[in-house]
A and B are shown apart, each in its own frame.
Chain A
């Protein structure tokens, strides 16, 4: 791991720094790499990311090493004399062709990953995601479930200017919602993203992708979550003043738990529908009575 030295140094530095500067913040995570994620696609992406990073690091070591060698070896103060050549067709051909070959080596797995990502066929279920300023709506197209998901109240209070509330006292500050998007593990879920006002982007890093939610258009993507768990993300496209405050929480549960959750949601929605209908009937009745009085 090329980065480990850096993190170690940073960690020490920051430990010293944070104790000295800001005693309240010591819950350092020092995350410095892409998460591996929990879907086949996110794993592919992670491997591809590590491949490209690795290639870049190797080239960087070679190129920067050569530069530093030149800087130390060819100093006037050490009596270095400049040769006056300024062209070499052989060398120039080599350093055009070699990078090209390396690019082809990156392009092949990248193409494969992209084809995998864009293949939304054979999905087990579909969820429609609609971005609003500044919340998300989730509609389970097959099960008739629909709800809004917004930032939790305590975080929303704490994030106000001059609230005086320490964000570290809030659980999952800015990354928690009132209603989670619940999905079954091991199922290929198709996500349709769109928006009602401005462009948003739906992003949960553990799923391995983000996709813009564009008003008037519907985008397709998919994810198959392999491990039960809670996965958090945020809106990733600037969408106005509260862009930073529309988190996403996905909860992946077993198929049985999912079925139970669907039933509960459907029942709750039916209840809500019933009481809404009752209220509507009452209003209509009152209006009719008033009309007859007149």
Chain B
């Protein structure tokens, strides 16, 4: 980089104090705010999970009323999905996409500021329902009518909170698409993009296609409740099951919104610590695209028990199990990357490897759940709970941890405490399996999900699961300690940080200047197909 350009990059005049964060249009600031927001929400949602596991520690009701328990399961899901995983992905996208593609910032910086600042308002709306008469929403995050229409004063808060979250994530998605299609450095062709950028573009299209559907569905709930329509009321000529179809038409793509960026992160970390290019780069891109196509035609597997015609059940079973093919391709490509490589096991790599195995377990149970006749047994049991927590906690959340550890030295300029990082990993790995693995057995043995109390034969596995939950929850405090410690100081990180790191972001200084790539990088520095 020329001296003039470097000088230009250091023009970081911006307001200081609180106003810096309120008015910022800088992708790094906004990325940081998204990640901090996600971390705060992670502990709020986690506290709700602790209440759930505390009540389920032993049979009988010891701590909370059933209605409050249902509020906890409902709010835990909404907070974790819309307040933790999605903002964390958008935060990572904000930080990484511009510096990965050699762009100076996001394409629409003011929209970027707005999409973040909607979120605190959305979650204030949602979380304040805990203090309203009638309590927080308790009808499940899936908001199935007619039950959700029995929600008290919290109902409109829920609907508008969901609307806000939708606006925020659609605006973020538009920004990411505009950035990657218009602001790539010369020489950064689409098939040279890091897979994290690829999976995020695909995610962004999913968001744009699916979030408005959710917005429509909840608006119909709103008019059913307050304006006398009967979209979902059989008595008024409507159909409660229609809501489920519309909801899951959003909901299944949403599943891939939550996991696709994780595929991108793992595809960045594995080659780095394997010191070997990613195996099958182009098949990774095509497999992601195929998963996305399939994700739009499998939605009814979430509702096999509603009583569909045989042909419908068969169609959704076939399309669902077909997803195992592109997902398998991804797993096999990662193994191909590991084969005959030269591995080291720093914390990001450990989390990425745990992701491979534990996400695969979630994939296997997903295949089992996709087999319609057997799903008639598994549906709405703890087997499902175990399945989606393997995919979302040991899948999405572990990938987020991996990504944070991986890029934290780049962002802060300091190496995090590797010993504490390893402690965080091993404690999380053991406790998360103690927490969720027994739930497979509970579900198979017949324990329904979303119940505050259970028959005594389920007592033992529930106690084991709760113990795992408490350790897993407490372990995450360690993560905050590590991050704060790293931000405040530590061993100076080199620009390259990791021996095997490849890609444009590693050519910048650690930490990068407030404005980076104000002049695009040399095309010769761009290597394609590495990760």
CA distance A115 to B317 in the complex (A): 13
Partner among A53, A70, A110 whose Cβ is within 8 Å of the Cβ of B373: A110
Whether the pair B444, A236 counts as a contact (CB closer than 8 A) is: no
Question: Does A139 reach chain B (CB closer than 8 Å)?
Answer: no
Residues in chain B near residue A261, CB distance under 8 A:
none
- Any B CB within 8 A of the CB of A82: yes
> Is A59 touching B364 in the complex (CB atoms < 8 A)?
yes
A292: CB under 8 A from chain B? no
Q: What per-residue 1/0 map shows which CB atoms of A226-250 lie under 8 Å from chain B?
A: 0000000111111111111100000
- Kindly state the interface size class of chain B when it binds its partner: 35 or more
A161 within 8 Å of B (CB atoms): yes
- Is A198 a contact of B147 with CB atoms below 8 Å? yes
B325 within 8 A of A: yes
Size of the A side of the interface (Cβ < 8 Å), in residues, is 106
How many residue pairs link A and B with beta carbons under 8 A? The number is: 315
A interface SS class: mixed
Pick from A30, A165, A214, A245: contact of B460, CB below 8 A.
A30
Measured between C-beta atoms, what is the minimum distance from A154 to chain B in Å? 13
Query: Which of B4-12, B277-285, B508-516 participates in binding chain A?
Result: B277-285
B239 within 8 A of A: yes
Query: Does A91 sit at the interface, judged by CB under 8 A?
Result: yes
Check A14–B460 contact: CB distance below 8 A. yes
| Min CB gap A116→B, angstroms | 8
- Complex interface residues of chain A between 203 and 259 (CB less than 8 A to chain B): 203, 205, 208-212, 214-217, 219-220, 233-245
**Which chain B residue lies CB-closest to A205?**
B446
Are B307 and A44 interface neighbours, CB within 8 A? no
Which residues does chain B contribute within 8 Å of A53, judged by CB atoms?
A: 368
A114 touches B310 (CB 8 A): yes
Instruction: With both chains docked as a complex, state the minimum distance between the C-beta of A236 and any C-beta of chain B, in angstroms.
Output: 4
Q: A75 — which chain B residues lie within 8 A by C-beta?
A: 342-344
Residues B140 and A233 in contact, CB atoms below 8 Å apart = no
Chain B interface: which of A141-149, A169-177, A181-189, A269-277? A169-177
Tell me the minimal C-beta distance from B170 to chain A in angstroms: 28
Q: Give the contacts of B106-140 with A (CB-CB under 8 A).
A: 138-140
A59 to B332, CA, bound (A): 12
Q: How far is the CB of A74 from chain B (nearest CB, A)?
A: 5
Q: Which residues from chain A sit less than 8 Å from chain B, CB to CB?
A: 10, 13-14, 17-18, 21-22, 25, 27-35, 44-45, 48-49, 52-53, 56, 59-60, 63-64, 66-67, 70-71, 74-77, 80-84, 86-88, 91-92, 95-96, 99-100, 103, 106-107, 110-111, 113-118, 158-163, 165-168, 172-175, 193, 197-199, 201, 203, 205, 208-212, 214-217, 219-220, 233-245
Give me the 4 closest cross-chain CB pairs, A-B, nearest first: A216-B234, A244-B451, A31-B445, A219-B307
21 A-B pairs with CB atoms under 8 Å apart are A14-B460, A21-B463, A29-B445, A32-B441, A75-B342, A76-B342, A76-B343, A80-B342, A96-B325, A106-B367, A110-B371, A110-B373, A159-B60, A159-B61, A209-B305, A209-B376, A215-B235, A215-B240, A217-B307, A239-B147, A241-B66
